[in-house]
Amino acid sequence: MRWGLSLYFLLLSALNTLSDLVSEQSTNPFIWYNLGNIHLQMQEFHKAIDDYSLAIKYEKNLAEAYYNRGLTLLFLGEKDLANSDLSKAGELGIKEAYAVIKRYINN
């Protein structure tokens, strides 16, 4: 339990830092991508999806954002949306995305 609480406070600290940064650099896709990763770790899935969407808005070719958003959507049962994001991630170079599609969407 102690490690869980420590991890929570680390994530909260990172979230606060990134939130401060986004107020200064709201169009920086990497800040939004990292916010998405923090929200995902905190199991705030819809916030993570929103963050990844903003990262993609500001950088259309951010493969990792498509991939992570796709995995999150898949976890939430949104297979069609997940398939679209994972396909785009694959097109942008994350070849593992195709394996995820094959195993979890096209099964």
User: Could you tell me what percent of the chain has a pLDDT over 90?
Assistant: 92
The token pair at 16 is: 């606060």
Q: What contacts 37, CB < 8 A, 6 or more positions away?
A: 48, 68
Q: What contacts 11, CB < 8 A, 6 or more positions away?
A: 38, 41, 42
Q: Report if pTM > 0.85.
A: yes
Structure confidence at residue 1 (pLDDT): 43
How many Å apart are CA 96 and CA 100, to the nearest integer?
7
For the segment 66-83, the average pLDDT, to the nearest whole number, is: 98
Quickly state the pLDDT bin for 107 (edges 50, 70, 90).
Answer: confident
Of 24, 93, 96, 86, nearest to 52 by C-alpha is 86
Quickly state the pLDDT bin for 3 (edges 50, 70, 90).
Answer: low
Summarised one tens digit per residue, pLDDT across range 23-71 is 999 999 999 999 999 999 999 999 999 999 999 999 999 999 999 999 9
